[in-house]
Amino acid sequence: MAVSSYARPESLVATDWLVTRLDDPDVVILDASWHMPATKRDAIAEFRARHIPGARFFNIDTIANTTVKLPHMAPDEETFARMVGALGIDNHHHAVVYDANGGAGAAMRAWWMFRLFGHTRVSVLAGGFGKWLAETRRVESGETTQSHAAVFYARIDPRLIRSIEDVRMNIGSGHEQLIDVRSAGRFAGTEPEPRAGLRGGHIPGSTNLPFPVLLDPANHMVPRSAKDIARAIDQAGIDRNRPIVASCGSGVTACVLAFALHLIGDEAAVYDGSWTEWGGRADVPIET
């Protein structure tokens, strides 16, 4: 992984870097692991069984807007500030996020949430917990407690998030490119959705770029090189000079595209409700 080849290399840190900073009070380590319900995996139980020393659990399902039926929707500023502060994180901390899937979604969702609420001192651990374990690095078990809560100030950046109303209006204007990172089969409507009750297909005018092509599966899901990321985006017919909005199943893997673009010097907003919202409604158009 040639981190120096990225336009924003500080957003991705290596395990070698983190292992020397486990006791650094300026660095807070967050396990943001999350699994699809069908996997029957319990991310919190797995965290309690073993995690990177000193890590705290960042739950994308509870640090969320829990008043709506959609999963892990971004909360308001007050909720995010209160819940992140309860983890002992303030605006001066350097947050390093990882997950059990090697950063293939949940860690990047946590990274995106911090940036959404104005905190730019946040990085993803390259390779996540899978790479940490493969290197037989030290782990610990049980809960991780902090001595006291902190004060965190949050201010949302509206450039980084889109609502269903925004996406519906964009179908007519075509001002922003909507990039769907689900599989080609789900995009086409030929493959069943993992969540029951959702229609198949895609938002009219959207482009398909399955998120795994941005990652290196042979290396614990580390993002590909800047050159390879740019090539994949170009081959999908995406114009990096025009605004980009990422969409997926429920707003998690869309953040892989947002993160990859950020690494190479670009930005993308995320349609937070994604297909769980769009495909679950009968009053919006769908293409197959």
Q: What percent of the chain has pLDDT over 70?
A: 97
Average pLDDT over residues 172-199: 95
Nearest to 58 by CA among 90, 86, 37, 77: 86
248 is catalytic: yes
Residue-wise pLDDT tens digits, 214-270: 998 777 778 899 999 999 999 999 999 999 999 999 999 999 999 999 999 999 999
From 228, 214, 216, select the one nearest 260 (Cα to Cα): 214
Q: Which two tokens stand for residue 94?
A: 């350097």
Q: How far is CA 200 from the centre of its chain?
A: 23
85: Cα separation from own chain's centroid: 20
The alpha carbon of 209 is separated from its chain's Cα centroid by a whole number of angstroms, namely 16
- The pair of structure tokens assigned to 166 is 């925004």
Dist CA 31 CA 52 (whole Å):
8
11 φ, ψ to 5°?
Answer: -85, -5
Distance CA 267, CA 159 (A): 9
Query: How much is the pLDDT for 4?
Result: 57
Name the catalytic one among 83, 181, 248, 256: 248
pTM of the model: 0.96
Alpha helices in the chain (DSSP H): 15-19, 43-49, 77-86, 106-116, 128-134, 164-173, 184-188, 226-235, 254-263, 274-278
Question: What structural domains and CATH numbers belong to the chain?
Answer: 3-155 (3.40.250.10), 159-278 (3.40.250.10)
Could you read off the pLDDT of 121-145 as tens digits, one per residue? Answer: 999 999 999 999 999 999 999 987 7
Tell which residue, 79, 85, 91, 87, has the closest CA to residue 32: 87
